Amino acid sequence: MFYLAPIVVFFGLVINHYLKKQFSSEVKQLQSFFKFSEKFFLLLIILFSFYVSFNLSVWFFVYLITGIILGLFLRETMLYLGIYQSIFNFYLSSLSFIYLLFSKEKLSLKNILIFFIPLIIIILPLEPWIFITLSSGALLPQLFQ
């Protein structure tokens, strides 16, 4: 049943696209609210993912630094949200859905593919905290752009 969560989360972007199209004049007035909400929910996603994946090992910090470096060069929020969906955590999925309601991401084929391709991680025999830490580190630079 929880395999439907990535689809539900992606519908946050679809709803965002529809609402921005229907209420374009109101959206322009609330632009600062949307920007604040987007950063706030991105921060909540990062903090919760740290809470889920944190351990005091050298590897945690290696993956975190690698994620930060990756995030500086590859600024694809949809990719990292897709990676979060591969671990099937209800709270991360809920926060991702709310984030996509406020985000400035466009509904395009590129974003659809970037979001759903990381679900291949499910078949890899690796610990999920590795991918959570990489994604958290990669989302950190996006808070400051």
91-100: buried (b, 16+ CB within 10 Å) or exposed (e) per residue?
ebbbbbbbbb
Q: How far is CA 121 from CA 86, 87, 95, in A?
A: 6, 9, 20
What pLDDT sits at residue 19? 86
CB 44 within 8 A of CB 84: no
| pLDDT(29) > 70 | yes
Domain residue spans of the chain: 2-18+31-143
CA distance 27 to 43: 22
pLDDT band at 1 (very low <50, low <70, confident <90, very high): low
Q: What is the pLDDT of residues 30-88, one digit of tens each?
A: 888 888 998 999 999 999 988 888 888 888 889 889 999 999 998 888 888 888 888 87
Segment 87-125, tens digit of pLDDT: 878 888 899 999 998 888 888 888 888 888 888 887 778
